[in-house]
Amino acid sequence: MLRTNLGQRIPEGMRDLLPEEVAVQERLEQDILALFRKWSYQKVLTPTLEFCACVQPDIEQDNLLYKFFDREGRILALRPELTMPIARLVSTRMRGADLPLRLCYSADVYRNTNVRHREFRQVGVELIGSDQELADAEVIALAVEAIDALGLKNYQFNLGHMGIFSGLMLEAGVDASMQVKLEEALARKDMVGVESWVRQSGLPDHVQELLLRFPHFHGGEEILDEVLLWSERPAIREAVESLRRIYRYLDDFGVQANVSLDLGILRGFSYYTGAVFEGYVPGMGFPVVEGGRYDTLYADFGVPQPATGFAIHLGNLLEKFPLPPVEGAEILVYGSNDKQVIHQCQVLRAQGKRVEMVFGTINGEGAQKIALQKNIPEVLFVE
Amino acid sequence: MTIALPKGKLLIDSIQMLSRIGIECSHVNEESRKLFYDLPDSNIKIIICRATDIPTFVEYGAADLGVVGKDTLLEDNKDVAELLDLKFGYCRFVVAMPEASVPPKLPNGTYDLSGLNHQRVATKFPRVAETFFSELGMQVHPIKLHGNIELAPCVGLAEMIVDIVSTGKTLRENHLVEVAPILEATSRLIANRVAYRMKYERIRVLVDLFRKELQIDETAK
């Protein structure tokens, strides 16, 4: 049956990977997973399909999920990320595991939005059960090393802290719903919206100035001192000092030169609660690494505990790498006796060689021609 | 650094603004049909594209900065950083209906839109139209057109339109009446999210220069 026009295409945002492209993705993935192993992260895998109730980010982003019904009429969803499925896994089957727990993953995620790649490979880590700044620093340092290990040049990481903003909101007496709106505008980097909101807010002048200054706190440790000049509130001071300790740890890890402090990094409608960071690569119009601390997410799964982690959007990075030649066969085996040819191939394979068998009877000239076409260095005739 | 500028009226304003902050680009124009200008003195490249394409160029990082009307931004809903209101290119979004079928007025003087549920709205901006009506708890049926929106109610394609007006002349000529303002829009300076963080210093300097010029205009008023 000839497939219809639709049957010969693939849905928007999906893609096929050819041998060279698979080779690139697997090499990058293996390099990163090897690095994660060195840092003692254990790989886990969760199912592609989850109940929607597990992976639903929040009502506002509900439509980013691919959803289905099961036979009982319950709503299923393709995972849009791994943090929530792993929180579910840790809170159920791994409950009682020794903490801190270091887990990593490499899996495809699915997002039903209008972006180029709606299915792409994510690799990342989750560090569960530690609220220490050293844990934040470990995760950030690992993210930097992972991008570095890929051989990307001129990458940059920016690090911020959700607590400074919420401290400021607390100080200003902004109510929760207003805070979400403002946070969301800041996260979208809608500075015009933020400015008009702040100007009409009726907040004290110095709070207004500080809010407008917020996205421009960008640089090294000096910006933290600047924030403290603006406000000495305990909540703000606590977050600032926490960020300072994380940043200093990054120096001990030897990655501080790649990380800028940037208080403009905020995520509206997200589970992040503390340090948040993003990684950028020149030529990619969106962050390729996203991560941070999320200390309240595990409570949603009934086992409150602190956690931090990151994800690298590996699938989106593939285009940054030249396609390598695919490793083809090393030996081409041909002959007229199938039984002997099969036997010889199996012997060579057992020795660890990559072997290709010729179907049908050909002469030596024909075999040489195939070997030349397929770039196979050695040809073997079997009697 | 690459800056994307829109064809048309906004191009002239944008070039003027760039020239004022010391980026000499008075030779940039759309008559020459050149779409790409290199300004080696200021280390800036300027590209010229359709206004509605600017958010796309910027979202994908093909341009670091762009100038675009808030109307286009609202309709496109692209993931870009909106840095500054440049104040030029003012326009208003309105709902308009034929004189013959305007709804009754409420005691507060505004038109009562509640009878317009499930009616057809011809517009270039279906997203803006839908958002406006859904905030009123209403649902309408947008019909996307690419131009001559005013025509739609005259020929029975739609009961009302959502469009941009600057003077209101076109509405009057087509016997249409504004029944509700939606919002006002001016041009915005937008940035790619990553460029905004990676080329932060450079962009900030530009934004501050723009801001100074805008303040001068404000004071002059």
Residue B95 contacts residue B130 (beta carbons within 8 Å): no
- Test B194 with A285 for CB contact under 8 angstroms: yes
Q: Sort out which chain A residues have CB atoms less than 8 A from B81's CB and list them.
A: 188-191
User: How far apart (Å, rounded) are the C-alpha atoms in residues A120 and B142?
Assistant: 34
The confidence band for A107, taking pLDDT boundaries of 50, 70 and 90, is very high
Average pLDDT, chain A: 91
User: Are the Cβ atoms of A156 and B61 closer than 8 angstroms?
Assistant: no
- CB–CB of B188 and A192 under 8 A? yes
**Averaged pLDDT for residues A181-191:** 80
Nearest to A198 by CA among A207, A189, A190: A207
Instruction: Among B62, B82, B198, select the one facing A190 at the smallest CB separation.
Output: B82
A345 to chain B nearest CA, in Å? 50
Going from N- to C-terminal start, the domains of chain A cover 7-320, 331-382
Return the closest-CA partner of residue B18 out of A144, B170, A234, B29: B29
Can you give the pLDDT at residue A123? Answer: 97
Of A191, A216, A265, the CB nearest to B84: A191
The DSSP letter of residue A359 is P
- In whole angstroms, give the CA distance from residue B198 to residue A218: 11
Indicate the residue of A188, A195, A218 with minimum beta-carbon distance to B200: A218
β-strand pairing of B160-165 with B91-98: antiparallel
Most B CBs within 10 Å, among A192, A212, A216, to test the B interface: A192
Strands (E), chain A: 42-43, 49-51, 67-69, 75-78, 101-110, 119-128, 156-161, 218-219, 259-262, 275-280, 289-293, 307-313, 331-335, 355-357, 378-382
B69 in the Ramachandran plot: left (φ > 0), alpha (ψ -120 to 50) or beta? beta
**Strand A259-262 to strand B120-123: parallel, antiparallel, or no bridges (unpaired)?**
unpaired
pLDDT of A60 reads: 64
Closest residue, chain B, to A287 (C-alpha)? B194
CA of A342: how far to CAs of A327, A334, A368, A382, in Å? 22, 9, 19, 10
CA gyration radius, chain A: 26
Nearest CA in chain A to B186: A192
Query: pLDDT tens digit string along A159-175?
Result: 999 988 888 888 888 87
- CA-based nearest distance A197→chain B, Å: 13
A70/chain B closest Cα distance in angstroms:
31
**A262 to chain B: which residues are within 8 Å by CB?**
197, 200
Residue A59, pLDDT score: 65
Indicate yes or no: CB of B81 within 8 angstroms of CB of A191: yes
Contacts of A218 in chain B (CB under 8 A): 197, 200, 204
Measured between CA atoms, the residue of chain A closest to residue B187 is: A192
How far separated are the first and last CA of chain B, in Å rounded? 33
Query: What is the Cα–Cα distance from A29 to A317, expressed in whole angstroms?
Result: 11
pLDDT reported for residue A61:
66
Question: Is the CB of B198 less than 8 angstroms away from the CB of A280?
Answer: yes
Contacts of A276 in chain B (CB under 8 A): none
| Chain A interface mutation, best of B84, B197, B218, highest count of A Cβ atoms under 10 Å | B197
Domain A7-320 indexed as CATH 3.40.50.2300: no
**Angle of helix A191-199 versus helix A205-213 axis, rounded to 10:** 180
Nearest neighbour of B193 by CB, restricted to A189, A192, A193: A189
CB contact under 8 A, A287 and B194: yes
**What whole-number distance in Å separates Cα of residue A265 and Cα of residue B2?**
23
Q: How confident is the model at residue A190 (pLDDT cuts 50, 70, 90)?
A: confident
Phi-psi region at A73: left, alpha or beta (left = phi > 0; alpha = psi -120 to 50): left
Say whether pLDDT at A90 is over 90: yes
Which pLDDT score is estimated for A268?
61
Which portions of chain B are predicted below pLDDT 50?
A: none
Structure tokens at A226: 């600047």
* Integer Cα distance of A160 and A216 in angstroms: 12
DSSP letter string, B135-201: HTT---EEEE-SS-TTHHHHTTS-SEEEEEESSSHHHHHTTEEEEEEEEEE-EEEEE-HHHHHHTHH
DSSP A113-141: SSSS-SEEEEEEEEEES---HHHHHHHHH
Measured between alpha carbons, how far is A255 from A144 in angstroms, rounded to an integer? 7
- Rounded to whole angstroms, how far apart are CA atoms A163 and A235? 7
Partner residue opposite A284 with nearest CB, options B83, B85, B194: B194
- CB-based contacts of A62, cutoff 8 Å, min separation 6: A56
Choose the mutation target among A158, A198, A280 for the interface with B, i.e. most B CBs under 10 Å.
A280
Average pLDDT over residues A319-341: 90
- Which residues does A345 contact at the CB level (< 8 Å), separation at least 6? A333, A355, A357
Q: Which among B70, B84, B197 has CB closest to A158?
A: B197
Q: Do B111 and B105 meet the contact criterion of CB atoms below 8 Å apart?
A: yes
Q: How far apart are CA A174 and CA B180, in angstroms?
A: 31
pLDDT tens, residue by residue, A244-288: 999 999 999 999 999 999 988 877 657 889 999 999 998 888 899
Chain A residues near any Cβ of chain B (below 8 Å): 156, 158, 188-193, 195, 216, 218, 262, 264-265, 278, 280, 282-287
Asked whether the beta carbons of residue A189 and residue B84 sit closer than 8 angstroms, the reply is no
For residue A187, is pLDDT > 90?
no
- For tokens 């003692």, the residue is A40
Could you tell me if B93 and B205 are in contact, meaning their C-beta atoms sit under 8 angstroms apart? no
| Structure-token match 């980013």, residue found | A64
A104 contacts A36 by C-beta, under 8 angstroms: yes
Domains of chain B, first to last: 2-89+186-220 (3.40.190.10), 91-184 (3.40.190.10)
A30-39, A44-53, A137-146, B27-36 — which is least confidently predicted?
Answer: B27-36
